[in-house]
Structure 1
């Protein structure tokens, strides 16, 4: 196959720190290339440079080998040069263009119109519009004939197997369904290149596999090249011909995807051990908690139905269950975001029990200050540096010297080394990898010194090595700060490794509570398939 993209001696610096160092590789026409590496290796920065977004490289080139039309804006694969332009009938001309060269600014815009990107943690949909309308908006953006948009949108939804949801409101879709609408919207551009940056990071493994299959089918059926980064090693092995192993901004190895994944995973071992702490007195008590919703189409829904449990000081307590089990609603009740319909929930602050079911500064308002919540859709302030994100942007006004000291201590609790903690304080969130941003978000919770920390899908977008780092950060925070954690997760391996006890929910009710290993034995085969990483 002919080369489509050549990445040549590519380097990128942020504030004098080199995050990409002399990157060289080719992408063939129609090839799917995987990028794998631990958090902070440079995967997202590399993908953005290939796509042409954000700031230019410090050194090097991203060269697209294409054919283009001199009479209209159409571009195509270089292998199509000499053929007639499908838009105006003129002959397509072969050319090689450096995407970031100033003299190629006009061609860069044309190339970017025929490329697409799927960002991690962002569905980028019109939430109040129907699914088919979302796809039609994308077709309008590329000036697709208005009289053909409905039919073309329906075809694209067929391609991503979502025809049965075309009239649904986008915000009412599941995460996996939303990501497939995003894919349909990207395919509306008829891209020559799709960059997929952790496209399934927040999805459970079974749903992620469906989206991975969609991506592969879209590449094959459309002759589209693709660059994919993912912490699911299965997607790299199953759909990528070749893979690139990035380490500290350099290519450690490039070659057969299965070989690259094996090379990467051999370092994903956890040799650190932690002593099991003495679980202290009860810190949270829930009795007969219920939460009901009234809907027009389904009547009364019992999202949480008579739930009773307790959590002790320094305990790491897991809440598990498939989508719809009630665990997210329960976590919102625990954190004080919503009120239960019935039942009692009390949190101990000092020696006093606080009633979480009552509003006001003497009740729920007082306790909420001591409950930290790290949601899977966390959001850092993009235009504030990391030090500001950790201190004054959340209302912690320290003298600068004390602020830096407190920030470094907290970043170390969240899994950074001291040198790395100092290095990132002046950086913006956009200059960090997704895994690094997640750990900063955890530090943002820890710096408030909460008594209970509620983690919602804490490992959603993480590679296996970063998961180990996050596990260690949680265990260290418990040991050094006497923190108590409630973990809501579908990652059964993580729950098994970290939780002292767990609670399995099904249809709003508790199935069982107890030692984590024993609770996991109650999972049905279907639940195991949904919530566990598939074994290879």
Structure 2
């Protein structure tokens, strides 16, 4: 196979900090290349440079080896040089294009039209349109012959195994189904190269395998090259022919998927031991707690229906259940974000029990300042540094030295190493990976020094090694700071590893509460499948 893309000593820095360091490799025509690494390794930055989005590299080159039609806009793989252009019929000629050279801006634009990208956690669909209409729009955008658009759109929907969802509204699809519509839209461009950045990072293993198989099939059927990133090993096992391991912006290993996985997993260790914690007194009590809503189309909704439970000081308490079971509503009531309809919710503050069902500075307002909530839809200020994001969360003026010290301690609790914590303080959130931003958001909660911390899906997008780091950071926080955690999660493996007790919710009710292993045995196979997909 001929080379398609050559990456030569590519370096990318943000504010003087290198996130890619002298990266070199070659992608061949029709090759499926996997790039794996922990959150923050530099995968997404590399993908954006290969695709041509954002800003140019600090140094180094990306060269595309292509065949170009000199009479129209068409560009394709170099193996097609000497053949007639499928658009205008003229003979295509070989060109090696320095992709980020400003002198080649027009050629870069033409190459980008013939490439496609699936962004991390961004479905980029017309949410109110049907599946078939989303694909039709993509075909119209690339000037597909109008008389053939509907037939081709139906073929693409069938190709991604969504013919049974063709007339569904896009926003009503599951995550895996949305990702398959995105794939169909990208294939509509008939690209010679597809960049897939964490295409299945939020999907359950079975759905991920389905998407992986479709990616592999699409590449083989169309001679399309593909670069796929992930922080999970499954995509390397399922799809790629060759792999690269990135670590802190450096290429640590290039080789077969098996060789790269072996090196990547060398750092995977969950052997750290923690002291056995004796839980303290009750710190939270709920009695007959309810939250009801009135919906125009569904009538009375009992989001939380007369539940009762207790949480103890220094305990890690889990809340599990499928989507719609009431977990998020309950977590928001505990955090004081929403007001219960009925019942009692008392929190121990100092030596006083404070009633969270009653508004007022001395009641719910008093307790709220000692309860932290990390919602799965967290947000950071994009134009303020990580240090500013953390100190702003406290709302107090700090001498810089003390602020940095407090921020580093808190970032370590959230899973960063000492060195990495220092490194990210002056960086902006957009320059971090999604996993790193998630840990900074966790640190925002921890830095307020709450008594109770509610974590809503704390490990949703983390690689297995980072997940262990976060697990350890929670256990360290419990051990060293005597924190109490309430973990709301679909990740039953994480709940099993970290929670002392948990509650299983169904339709707004707690149907089982007790030691974690006992409660997990009550989860049905159907619930396991649904929670994995969510």
TM-score (norm 1): 0.91
Corresponding residue for residue 159 of structure 1: 159
Question: Aligned residue for 2:318?
Answer: 318
Match of 1:202? 202
Shift in alpha-carbon separation, 1:287–1:492, aligned structure 2, 3 A: same
SS at match of 2:267: coil
State whether residues 493 and 532 of structure 1, in contact with CA within 8 Å, keep that contact through their aligned partners in structure 2: no
Cα deviation for residue 257 of structure 1 reads 0.7
Question: Alignment partner of 2:86: what SS?
Answer: coil
C-alpha distance in 1 between matches for 2:394 and 2:115: 38
Name the CA distance, whole Å, in 2 between partners of 1:530 and 1:290: 24
Rounded Cα–Cα distance in structure 2 between residues aligned with 1:394 and 1:210: 44
Higher deviation after alignment, 115-124 or 432-441: 115-124
For 1:487 and 1:327, locate their aligned partners in 2 and report how far apart those are by CA, in whole Å. 10
Show the counterpart of 1:15.
Answer: 15
In the alignment, the residues of structure 2 paired with residue 528 and residue 173 of structure 1 have an alpha-carbon distance, to the nearest angstrom, of 19
CA 1:329–1:167 in 2, change beyond 3 Å: closer, same or farther? farther
Aligned to 2:67: 67
**Equivalent residue, structure 1, for 2:258:** 258
Distance change in 2, residues 1:331/1:131 (3 Å):
farther
Instruction: Name the residue aligned to 1:456.
Output: 456
CA contact (8 A) 2:85 2:92 kept: yes
Question: In structure 2, what is the equivalent of residue 278 of structure 1?
Answer: 278
Contact 2:393–2:447 (Cα < 8 Å) also in 1: no
Question: 1:373 corresponds to which residue?
Answer: 373
Contact 2:317 2:499 in 1 (8 A): yes
Q: Is the 8 A contact 2:209 2:238 kept in 1?
A: no
Residues 423 and 85 of structure 1, relative CA distance in 2, 3 Å threshold: same
> Which residue is 2:466 aligned to?
466
Query: What is the aligned partner in structure 1 of residue 114 from structure 2?
Result: 114
1:350-361 alignment runs, 5 A limit: 350-361=350-361
Deviations 1:237-268 (A, max 9, x none): 11111111122222221111123212211320
Partner of 2:309, secondary structure, is: strand
Q: Aligned partners of 1:204, 1:247: CA distance in 2, in Å?
A: 25
Aligned counterparts of 2:61 and 2:33: Cα–Cα separation in 1? 18
- The runs of 5 or more residues in structure 2 that have no matched partner are none
Question: Which residue in 1 is equivalent to 2:188?
Answer: 188
Q: Which residue matches 2:439? A: 439
Structure 2 counterpart of 1:429 = 429
8 Å CA contact retained: 1:288, 1:344: yes
Deviations 1:66-89 (A, max 9, x none): 112212212112222222222222
8 Å contact kept, 1:392–1:398: no
Match of 2:86? 86
Match of 2:288 in 1: 288
Question: By how many angstroms is 1:291 displaced?
Answer: 4.2
* Cα distance between partner residues in 1 of 2:368 and 2:510: 25
| 8 Å contact kept, 1:198–1:461 | no
Distance 2:498 2:32 in 1: 35
Distance 2:173 2:87 in 1: 36
Distance (Å, rounded) in 1 between the aligned partners of 2:414 and 2:234:
28
Specify the alignment match of 1:245 in structure 2: 245
Q: Is the 8 A contact 2:203 2:532 kept in 1?
A: no
Give the superposed CA RMSD: 2.7
3-state DSSP class of the match of 2:87? coil
Question: Residue 391 of structure 1 aligns to a residue in which SS?
Answer: helix
* 1:420-448 deviation per Cα after TM superposition (whole angstroms, max 9, x unaligned): 22221111112222222221111111112
Gaps of 5+ in 1: none
Equivalent residue for 2:58? 58
Distance 1:290 1:142, change over 3 A: farther
Equivalent residue of 1:266, what SS?
helix
> SS at 2:319's partner residue?
strand
Whether the 8 Å CA contact 1:9–1:24 is kept in 2: the answer is yes
Counterpart CA distance in 2 for 1:303 and 1:477 is 31
Note the alpha carbon deviations across 1:84-115, whole angstroms, 9 max, x for none.
Answer: 22222222222221211222111111111222
The 1-side partners of 2:363 and 2:422 are apart by: 39
Note closer, same or farther for the CA distance 1:93–1:450 as it changes in structure 2 (3 Å cut).
same
Question: Taking structure 1 as reference, are residues 359 and 201 closer, same or farther at Cα in structure 2, changes over 3 Å only?
Answer: farther
How far, CA to CA, are the matches of 1:31 and 1:147 in structure 2? 33
SS at match of 1:79: helix
Residues 134-193 of structure 1 show CA distances to partners (whole Å, capped at 9, x for unaligned) of 434434443445565554444333332333334444333332233223323322332222
Q: TM-score, normalised by structure 2?
A: 0.91
Aligned residues: 533
After TM superposition, the structure 1 = structure 2 runs for residues 366-515 of structure 1, keeping only pairs within 5 Å, are 366-392=366-392, 395-515=395-515
Aligned to 2:232: 232
Structure 2 counterpart SS, 1:161: coil
Partner of 1:26: 26
Distance in 2 between residues matched to 1:184 and 1:296, nearest whole Å:
35
Contact map agreement 1:6 1:26 (CA 8 A) in 2: yes
* Alpha-carbon distance change, 409 to 354 in structure 1, aligned in 2, over 3 angstroms: same
Partner Cα separation in structure 2 for residue 382 and residue 489 of structure 1: 27
Q: Give me the whole-angstrom Cα distance separating, in 2, the residues matched to 1:58 and 1:405.
A: 31
